[in-house]
Chains A and B, each alone.
Chain A
Amino acid sequence: MDFNDTPEQAAYRAEVRAWLGANAEPRKDRPSVSRRLDAEEGLALAKAWQARKADAGYACRHWPVAHGGQGRPMIETIIYDQEEANFDVPTGFFSIGLGMCGPVMAQYATQEQQARFIPPLMRGEEVWCQLFSEPAAGSDVAGLRTRCHRDGDDWVVNGQKVWTSGAHYSDWGILVARHDSSLPKHKGLTFFFIDMKSPGIDIKPIKQINGGSNFNEVFFTNVRVPDSQRLGAIGEGWQVAITTLMNERLAVGDAPPPDFREVMKLAAACELDGRSALEDSSVREKIADWYVEAMGMKHTKARTMTALSQGKVPGPENSIGKVVSASKLQNVSSFGADLMDMGGVITDPSLMPSDALFQQSFLYSPGLRIAGGTDEILRNIIAERVLGLPGEIRVDRDVPYSDIPTGN
């Protein structure tokens, strides 16, 4: 057992590090560049960065050459991501496109569509969003109501999506809609990709609890989608969606800082009872707990990486990632504010350690426990799919969709 890169990996890592050093700023102990800028500036910067990465051959390196990748082993992508995490580069805008939409297009779209859509997606020239959740269907996304019906060569979509991250700046989206509500819920769904500039799409931003507006309501009124943009067969929408969600769980995982390292720095700079807070055993204990969690995740990833670099399929252990990291972020943020004692409520970056990083993350961390599968749903998945425990008794599976009870 060792942590050494193979000579080839080490050479690649050195090359990546040198390139990043020449092209990006090291990460500092403050909110990342994406959180300091407004969405428009952030997006422009992110597009430029993604293009620069793509030109240098570092974007989606494991994707096939035909899709704009380098056809290299997954491990090189992971090495790049590890190194990039040490730099303050704009992130987030393309994670849905790269993590979910690209792979689903690669699996279900035609060759011509792949050639048309994947390279600009990969280069960040076109932004993609995920139109799954609805007001009455989040955890239970298969319960969605948005309807579609066939009309000549087109489908006509009516209904509403919600929480669609980035819809307001997206060019394309992936959409699941119901073509037949007399079928059981999972059987009546069909999957499309859709031009977000189509007539009949109306996008309304939703304000989040931290004051930002990164997600949206998206309304569809007689929106026409060519049948050629259907992914998978009619009625196969759920299988396609599940493939996408599996990719989502790989794509989301790591929470952004602050983590134990930032708390440790903060503690060293704060006083408790007249001495450095870092000398206080209650503080040391907390930091130790978070270190153990963080290293647990890091080394879980190392196990995944090992499997990947040996060409094996990783085990199920990665499924713990988001449950651990989302709550950790919330707890770390809350504790960081506590360390600043009565002053910990101030949010003005100019008055606060780490430019109020802890206060900012206190307000956005609750979203991470919900987005991309709630803590509860992820625990159900671990219990049922990983541990093999019996599933819930279902009341909604084999009955016509239209007969399933609904609440307010």
Chain B
Amino acid sequence: MNFDFSDAQKALKQQTRDFLRAACDTTVPRRVLEDTDEPFARDLWQQICANESPGIAIPEEVGGIGFGYLELCVVAEEMGRAIAPVPFSSSVYLAAEAILQGGSEEQKERLLPRLASGESIGTFALSEGPGQATVANLQATLRDGRLSGTKMPVPDGDVADLCVVVAKDGEGASLAVVDLAAEGVSREPVDTLDPSRSHARITFDGAEAELLGEAGQGWATKDAVFNRAAVLFAMEQLGGADACLQMAIGYAKGRYAFGRPIGSFQAIKHKLADMYIKNELARANCYYGAWALSTDAPELPVAAAAARVAATQAFHFASKENIQTHGGIGFTWESDCHLYYRRSKLLALSIGSERVWKDRLISGLERQEAA
């Protein structure tokens, strides 16, 4: 058995962590959070692109560097730890994956090099507002290569160049690529719980849209893309959860009450131990998900859902209990605690809620058992 990342992958992880520690300490997400005119950290994004991180898992033939998904996973964990305010997840885990999963060879060759280099930012639009999107309730419609309808919240939708949209197409759903600069597209930022990652409401009014994959088969492709993205989002959540734990440990050692460090009280010790337990359970599930993703294993749907559920729970718990460990200061804007609390909820809902992933987990398990 060798259930571990290779030395090279570990080195990449360390390198990414060192890079982000220098280029993206918490003042960077805070800057984007507070500055309504800066939808994402452009300077950081440029450096990430110069490091070729967006193309890490994209094959060389289509402009990537073709390392693989384990490499992308370690980078994702560090992006999450740094709560990096960049469109990495939208462009890499969602848009590029959708094109890889659903696109023709021609489309891959045409669209992926720009996403791999970071020259273009991509995103993915499924949600149409509060409530779960299903094939039956989709309002956005694709007809004769034209797309109409409204999508929100679209992550990075205000800055992205291209968008993969899930739209109703006859009885089913299709995926379509839309150039967001095209005629018939209007967009505006929409306020969310985590303004360090911008979101938009995009209205399509007969915008030109290019089919991605077979007409009417888009929902299954979306599910496949989300299974892959779930592992990557979970890695980010894991990084965020670990950052909260480290922050809480540091504070609990240095803060005194009743003449003792608060970390000497068992109420705090047990809280932090519980964080650690949840994080380690999430870590193990995430690594298993990473294995399934990197090997295209048939276990992927279950492994991805398990990673997603565990990491969602771990980050939620760690971010809220990190605030609690800090007491009054944790409830201030000035403290970094809320940056993680906001990000944890954003990531928890990004590709569907915990409830949705639990459901997918059990459905996957049923299929696995039946096979």
Contacts and interface: CB of A to CB of B under 8 A. Distances in A.
Contact of A344 (B320, B353, B359): B353
A392 B152 CA distance: 52
Contacts of A280: 355
Given A138-B257, A341-B356, A346 B328 contact: no
Contact of B191 (A347, A392, A406): A347
A341 B353 CA distance: 5
Contact of B331 (A274, A339, A370): A370
B320 A366 contact: yes
Contacts of B190: 346, 348, 351
B247 interface: no
Interface residues of B, number: 60
Contact of A343 (B129, B320, B328): B129
Nearest to A135: B329
Nearest to B331: A367
Contacts of A338: 348-349, 353-355
A168 B165 CA distance: 49
A138 B30 CA distance: 27
B27 interface: no
Contact of B258 (A143, A272, A339, A359): A143
A348 B353 contact: no
A368 B349 CA distance: 24
A341 B133 CA distance: 8
Main secondary structure, interface of B, reads: mixed
A133 interface: yes
Interface residues of A, number: 61
Contact of B346 (A345, A348, A369): A345
Contacts of A345: 153, 192-194, 199, 345-346, 349
B345 A395 contact: no
B345 A271 contact: no
Nearest to B319: A366
A139 interface: yes
B349 A380 contact: no
B298 interface: no
Interface string A355-389: 00001001100110111001110011000000000
Given A271-B134, A337-B349, A345-B153, A396 B358 contact: no
B323 interface: yes
Interface in A140-170: 140, 143, 162-163
B328 A370 contact: yes
A185 to B, nearest CB: 9
A271 B359 contact: no
Nearest to B137: A271
Interface stretch (B168-176, B202-210, B260-268): B260-268
Contacts of A396: 258-260
Interface string B126-138: 1111111110110
A180 to B, nearest CB: 18
B191 A348 contact: yes
B257 to A, nearest CB: 4
Nearest to A266: B130
A359 B268 CA distance: 27
A61 B328 CA distance: 33
B131 A340 contact: yes
A394 B257 CA distance: 11
B181 to A, nearest CB: 24
B327 A343 contact: no
A353 interface: yes
B341 A344 contact: no
A340 B130 contact: yes
A390 interface: no
A339 B265 CA distance: 36
Interface stretch (B2-10, B45-53, B284-292, B332-340): B332-340
A138 B258 CA distance: 10
Contacts of A347: 191-193
Contacts of B126: 342
Contacts of A352: 130
B294 to A, nearest CB: 26
B261 A363 contact: no
Interface stretch (A31-39, A202-210, A225-233): A202-210
Contact of B133 (A342, A371, A405): A342
A395 B331 contact: no
B349 A344 contact: yes
A211 interface: yes
B152 A351 contact: yes
Contacts of A366: 320, 323-324, 330-331, 341
B267 A376 contact: yes
A351 B354 contact: no
A274 B192 CA distance: 25
Given A272-B132, A342-B127, A362 B345 contact: yes
B333 A395 contact: no
Given A207-B332, A344-B349, A352-B130, A273 B359 contact: yes
A408 B250 CA distance: 11
Given A273-B132, A273-B359, A136 B256 contact: yes
Given A133-B328, A343-B127, A407 B358 contact: no
A330 B320 contact: yes
Contacts of B143: none
B222 interface: no
B59 interface: no
A349 to B, nearest CB: 9
A252 to B, nearest CB: 15
17 contacts: A133-B328, A136-B256, A138-B327, A139-B257, A209-B337, A341-B132, A343-B130, A345-B194, A346-B190, A346-B192, A346-B199, A353-B130, A367-B331, A375-B324, A394-B258, A396-B258, A408-B254
Given A208-B331, A371-B328, A396-B259, 8 more contacts: A140-B258, A208-B333, A282-B355, A334-B316, A346-B129, A369-B324, A376-B268, A407-B261
